[in-house]
């Protein structure tokens, strides 16, 4: 695969992101509480807000485009079962990612920010907020929750190829809960337990849904699993290398035929 394709994709998505930055910012600002005075602490805060809005759009579009380029390049190296899994996962992945972003925006603008406003009012503090921090924090939370909501798709893929076992996941609930709490502490804007619970509970619910939804997924039986996890990865890489070699050979053959003609 030519790296130039990814460069062109990055430039195209960056251009689209910058063009859509101002409408996206206006949409985000309309969702914020109105009983707050939003200010800029620095001369470049407004510019940075637009840059982050555009960058958020760029990240999402680039991820979609990069996956399409990888599919276009390597889909012939996949087994029919793997192709079917990827195609069948497109719609659920899109829905889950969108729900994650909407959930992040909803809890941030309808729960967290009003809670902080009321807390400041109770302490007799004026609500003058830096709009740059408010916007960028909300964007970061929403994007990370969007990717976190893809957990069922990821677990389904790992279980289907035998890298994870449903029984092992069921036995590791306590470490998984601790891990989700740590993840929630990282992506939430404040370290309070309330914000962590608001984020971690839906993530844990997605984990349980993943376990239930994958109960019918066929995995490799333990007795038949003679290939280690490293060997599985090596085998996949070997298939890709063989596929790329066959493409190069076919291209060279076509070139030789043209030269003869």
Q: Per-10-residue mean pLDDT for the chain, 261 residues long? A: 83 94 94 91 91 94 90 80 84 91 92 90 92 92 91 84 76 86 81 78 86 59 45 56 62 51 47
Q: What pLDDT score does 13 carry? A: 95
pLDDT confidence of residue 167: 78
Q: Distance between CA atoms of 7 and 22, rounded to whole angstroms?
A: 24
| H/E stretch holding 38 | strand 37-39
The pLDDT, as a whole number, for residue 28 is: 92
Residue 39, pLDDT score: 92
| Total domains present in the chain | 1
- Which tokens hold the place of 190? 């404040």
Q: Residue 226: what pLDDT?
A: 42
* Residue 64, in any domain of the structure: yes
Q: Which residue is listed with tokens 């035929």?
A: 257
Domain span at residue 97 reads: 1-143
pLDDT of residue 233: 52
Q: Give the pLDDT score at 235.
A: 55
Position 239 in a domain = no
Alpha-helical (H) ranges within 108-163 are 113-122, 131-148, 151-160
User: Residues for the chain: how many in total?
Assistant: 261
CA-CA distances (angstroms) from residue 228 to 75, 166, 169, 221, 242? 24, 17, 19, 13, 21
Q: Does residue 69 belong to any structural domain of this protein?
A: yes
């Amino acid at each position: 695969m030519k790296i130039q394709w990814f460069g062109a994709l990055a430039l195209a998505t960056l251009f689209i992101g910058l063009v859509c930055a101002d409408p996206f910012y206006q949409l985000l600002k309309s969702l914020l509480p109105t009983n707050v005075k939003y200010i800029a602490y620095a001369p470049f805060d407004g510019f940075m807000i637009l840059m982050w809005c555009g960058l958020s759009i760029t990240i999402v579009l680039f991820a979609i485009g990069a996956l399409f380029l990888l599919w276009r390049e390597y889909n012939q190296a996949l087994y029919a079962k793997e192709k079917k899994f990827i195609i069948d996962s497109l719609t659920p992945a899109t829905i889950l990612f969108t729900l994650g972003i909407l959930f992040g925006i909803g809890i941030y603008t309808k729960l967290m920010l009003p809670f902080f406003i009321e807390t400041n009012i109770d302490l007799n503090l004026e609500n003058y907020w830096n709009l740059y921090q408010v916007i960028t924090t909300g964007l970061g939370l929403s994007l990370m929750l969007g990717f976190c909501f893809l957990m069922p798709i990821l677990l389904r893929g790992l279980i289907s190829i035998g890298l994870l076992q449903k029984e092992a996941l069921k036995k590791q609930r306590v470490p998984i809960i601790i891990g989700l709490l740590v993840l929630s502490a990282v992506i939430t804007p404040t370290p309070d337990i309330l914000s962590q619970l608001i984020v971690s509970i839906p993530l844990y619910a997605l984990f349980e849904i993943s376990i239930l939804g994958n109960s019918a997924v066929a995995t490799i039986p333990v007795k038949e699993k003679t290939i280690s996890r490293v060997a599985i990865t090596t085998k996949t890489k070997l298939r890709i290398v063989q596929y790329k070699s066959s493409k190069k050979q076919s291209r060279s053959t076509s070139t030789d035929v043209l030269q003869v003609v």
